[in-house]
Chain A
């Protein structure tokens, strides 16, 4: 029961915080104006231009290294051989 109560408290806090965060998103003035974002819109500023290639490289790395995650999707499969 204590864990249930803690979960409910956490849920209420998240709801309030989430709703507050999102509603404030409508009022905050962006410090980089939309007309100043031409450089950020350049294709060379895209985080991941080629999703298949990135997923393939991640799959190779995850088959050879102990680390995983936080760098995109690596797909399924074993990589056992």
Chain B
């Protein structure tokens, strides 16, 4: 059923693509400047530390053709609370490589890209194609995109080989998952100060969709804790739809304000609402300062429960914290400093950016069973609700040439 629906959508996307190819516009689009970026990030929160390092190079081969390569490595130490509730913490590393080719013909930009992501226990390959069309005197930009992802999911027994004397990892491969994503984005200039956008996205998944490191818990009077843990069992299909509307307004002085709202729902009955507000303020042509606030809220998936009444109560059961009812808010600030205004050797200009975000997560039906239990007087289901703060720090340098 899902495949039939997906094939129909692919067919329609192909037809729209064919229609767009009929266009013979008069004034060509141009590709962005060549650039090289170095990026470092650090995430700390909820018992986890993740550092990320990335390098990106983008180069025009001709006036119409550009290539971009990106390499990203993130290293994880620690583990989130629901993993810690059943296992030891894990050290892991993810390496992601991507390549993109972009071609401009008149007012149409075609993009083909490939992403490969490898962890010890997870492999992912994504291929994507998109086209962007400027129209109506360049007031309107329509983008269509399709991507296909194939994942191979495994479970690490906890070994990493990363400490003296620690056992090497043993991976059990559990299954495959396939995901297809369809995007339609429209950006519209409304006035000389205001631009608006609508983004529509559908994703279909099929295969092994559970997180092998997390467990469900159920009441068990024979266990001293009052509960026992068991493997999660997820549905093997999921389809989600997301719509985002956004607007960016140039204020009476040189600054911009951006607002966006996203509505999300899926076949697991998760409904999410995201609100974001962003203020950007340049100082001469040297600094660009940015402040942002984001609020997110969702209800739980229809097969989620923090505590099931007994083992195998339902056909599908999950206790993954991202499936729980939750809200979170983010306060962030970013400063971009422009240097080399007169260029240096092959470089025309350069920027360095500092970005810090503080995220506060509140779970509405996910309880903290790692630090609270019968040993401190809490019966199963009465433990305090889990919450945590996370800090995300990023620094990156961009050189344009």
Residues of A within 8 A of B (CB): 3, 7, 10-11, 14-15, 17-19, 21-23, 25-26, 28-32, 34, 36-37, 39-40, 42-45, 47, 49-53, 56-57, 60-61, 63-71, 75-78, 80-81
Q: Hey, which chain B residues are within 8 Å of A75, CB to CB?
A: 72, 96, 98, 115, 117
A15 touches B272 (CB 8 A): no
**B347 CB-CB contact with A under 8 Å:** no
Chain B, residues 248-261, CB within 8 Å of chain A (1/0): the string is 10100011100000
Q: Could you mark each residue 1-35 of chain B with 1 if its beta carbon is under 8 Å from any beta carbon of chain A, else 0? A: 00000001001100110111011011000000000
Q: Does B270 contact A (CB under 8 A)?
A: yes
Instruction: Determine, out of B76-84, B161-169, B308-316, B372-380, the stretch whose residues face the partner at the interface.
Output: B76-84
B250 and A22 contacting across the interface, CB-CB below 8 Å: no
Q: Could you tell me if B244 and A70 are in contact, using CB atoms closer than 8 angstroms?
A: yes
**How far apart are the CA atoms of A30 and B79 in the complex, in Å?**
54
Extra pairs beyond A10-B12, A76-B116 (15, CB < 8 Å) = A7-B8, A18-B22, A22-B133, A25-B23, A26-B26, A32-B189, A36-B192, A40-B250, A44-B255, A52-B56, A53-B353, A56-B39, A66-B322, A75-B98, A78-B151
Shortest CB-to-CB span from B239 to chain A, Å, is 11
Total A-B residue pairs with C-beta atoms closer than 8 Å? 217
Interface residues of B in 171-191 (CB under 8 A from A): 181, 183, 187, 189, 191
Cross-chain pairs A/B with CB under 8 angstroms, 17 sampled: A11-B12, A18-B15, A19-B22, A29-B137, A30-B136, A42-B282, A43-B288, A44-B254, A45-B248, A47-B248, A52-B54, A64-B328, A69-B202, A75-B96, A76-B149, A78-B94, A80-B211
What residues of A have a CB within 8 angstroms of the CB of B140 in the complex? 25
Q: Interface digits, B41-65 against A, CB 8 Å rule (1 contact, 0 not)?
A: 1010000100010101000000000
**Does A22 contact B22, Cβ atoms closer than 8 Å?**
yes
Residue of B nearest to A30 (CB): B137
B135 and A21 within 8 A (CB): yes
Is B242 in the interface zone, CB < 8 Å from A? yes
**B122 interface hit (Cβ, 8 Å):** yes
Neighbouring A residues of B385 by C-beta, 8 Å: none
Which B-chain residue is minimally distant from A6 (CB atoms)?
B8
Contacts A14-B16, A44-B256, A66-B301 known; A56 to B137 CB distance under 8 Å?
Answer: no
Cβ of A76 to closest chain B Cβ, rounded Å: 3
Contact, CB under 8 Å: A81 / B149: no
CB distance from B234 to the nearest CB of A (A): 12
What's the dominant secondary structure at chain B's contact region?
A: strand
A56 with B394: CB separation less than 8 A = yes
1/0 per residue B112-150: CB within 8 Å of A? 000111010110111000000101111110000000010
Q: How far is the CB of B257 from chain A (nearest CB, A)?
A: 10
Q: Is A67 within 8 A of B26, CB to CB?
A: no
Chain B residues lying within 8 Å of A22, measured Cβ to Cβ, are 19-20, 22-23, 133, 135
Q: Which residues of A contact B398 (CB under 8 A)?
A: 50
A26 CA to B199 CA, complexed, in Å = 24
Known contacts A10-B15, A19-B19, A47-B197; is A65 also within 8 Å of B322 by CB?
yes
B345 to A: closest C-beta gap in Å: 23
- Contacting pair A65 B272 (CB below 8 A): yes
Contacting pair B326 A65 (CB below 8 A): yes
CB distance from B139 to the nearest CB of A (A): 5
Return B245 CB to nearest CB of chain A, in Å: 10
B240 interface hit (Cβ, 8 Å)? yes
Q: Quick check: is B303 within 8 A (CB to CB) of the other chain?
A: no
For the complex, give the distance between the alpha carbons of A53 and B135 in Å.
Answer: 29
Q: In this assembly, does B305 line the interface, its C-beta being within 8 Å of a C-beta of chain A?
A: no
Given A18-B22, A52-B396, does the pair A77, B122 have CB atoms closer than 8 Å?
yes
Q: State whether A31 and B357 are in contact (beta carbons under 8 Å apart), knowing that A50-B396, A67-B242, A75-B72 are contacts in the complex.
A: no
Residues of the B chain whose Cβ atoms lie less than 8 Å from the Cβ of A18: 15-16, 18-20, 22
Known: A22-B20, A70-B242. A65 touches B203 (CB 8 A): no
Q: Which of A28, A32, A60, A69 is the one whose CB lies under 8 Å from B181?
A: A69
Question: B264 interface residue, CB < 8 Å from A?
Answer: yes
Rounded to whole angstroms, the CA-CA distance of A69 and B205 in the bound complex is: 13
In the complex, which residues of chain A have a beta carbon less than 8 angstroms from the beta carbon of B225? none
